[in-house]
Structure 1
């Protein structure tokens, strides 16, 4: 995958992908635990995503319940990765599993279970 795209594309996509999946992880953990939980994974998700949620606060609708806010913000990162990145690279469509982060993970898993 690294030879298909320039290195900066891979790095930007990996950063955006990790942020997106961390926000999704926080929303998923919030189904089972409160945000002030002492569980170390929840503390990590809260500490890692609070600055991002504060940054997106001006564009976050007030009617959203708090547990859905990380999913709403993760949607922005998905849209950037799905629409803005291909447009900046000059592609019209990148296709399913075209995100470098998810493609590399899928290739690793396919290789493990062959």
Structure 2
């Protein structure tokens, strides 16, 4: 079992990555060794919340100008997936129901449902 606080401390002392971020990581794991994800640490949550608007702006500009920034886009998507109760990935249930009548659950009603997609949603 790794001691993430110690790992961050070692990186800070012996790596070219001597960013203050490593000290924040070390502190977070020193305060909570069983922290499952840095996004759940108060300090990191505050910093990410404060930076998200400008990050979204940068990603939008990159998309609008055809500039690939896959790492930043992936990071923003990961952040969004952690802070949402409902995800677009839940739409996979609808796709499975469409192709194989596997049913789906809804957030507004109890139970499982099946839709006859080809009958109810025909193209005009």
TM-score, scaled relative to structure 1: 0.29
Higher Rg: 2
TM-score, scaled relative to structure 2: 0.27
| Structure with bigger RCO (C-alpha 8 Å, 6+ apart) | 1
- Between Structure 1 and Structure 2, the one with more helix by share is 1
